[in-house]
A and B are shown apart, each in its own frame.
Chain A
Amino acid sequence: DQQVKQNSPSLSVQEGRISILNCDYTNSMFDYFLWYKKYPAEGPTFLISISSIKDKNEDGRFTVFLNKSAKHLSLHIVPSQPGDSAVYFCAARRAAGKSTFGDGTTLTVKP
């Protein structure tokens, strides 16, 4: 039973436009949700997170939205840049527990 799902394996957007990456989860007890960015042959790096008590968190071009009733979160990147091309992983965790990762979405930003 996969508790965190990223249903879109890939996404392609034009430079300057908005990228929206989606993530669904099943466990209503998760306390934190995180997004990581990963380049090939490197380890993931933390991008942005949101607590379950909030519905939005913004950091520069990156905004994460949380819809608890739908058990859905999304990452918005505006404006998208070619350097944003990477694999994006959604993760969820309890405050005192291990993270559960989705399978990732490969974002390609075309110049």
Chain B
Amino acid sequence: DGGITQSPKYLFRKEGQNVTLSCEQNLNHDAMYWYRQDPGQGLRLIYYSQIVNDFQKGDIAEGYSVSREKKESFPLTVTSAQKNPTAFYLCASEGGPTEAFFGQGTRLTVV
């Protein structure tokens, strides 16, 4: 089945450590996105990529990094520079000008 997969579903990180969240899609979509959701808030855009080997900062890119070496994959690294990394992270992909397909999310907790 076609879809978008995020892993892991839950992730714990010690302060000062970098951590990478995985996002893979087999929908043949060109565009991929990373969002962050905090409790009671909406979706804030971290980074997005509209084509392989190219990506742009979103509204809250500080403390995060991404790569887009393959069309299917768009991993997000939460670096130690991110001051408040505990959140629910969502990856999405789009194949055209209409709807986005979202993964199930990764809940990151800093311990």
Cα distance A104–B43 in the bound complex, in angstroms: 9
Q: Is B105 close to A, CB under 8 A?
A: yes
Query: Are B99 and A34 interface neighbours, CB within 8 A?
Result: yes
Q: Is B107 close to A, CB under 8 A?
A: yes
Q: Is B102 close to A, CB under 8 A?
A: yes
Closest to B96 in A: A95
**Size of the chain A interface, CB-CB below 8 angstroms:** 25
B36 to chain A: closest CB distance in Å? 11
Identify the B interface with A (CB < 8 A). Answer: 6, 31, 33, 35, 40-43, 45, 48, 58, 88, 90, 92, 97-105, 107
Identify the A interface with B (CB < 8 A). Answer: 6, 9, 31-32, 34, 36, 41-46, 49, 89, 91, 93-96, 98-99, 101-104
Nearest 4 pairs between A and B by C-beta?
A: A43-B102, A103-B42, A46-B99, A95-B97
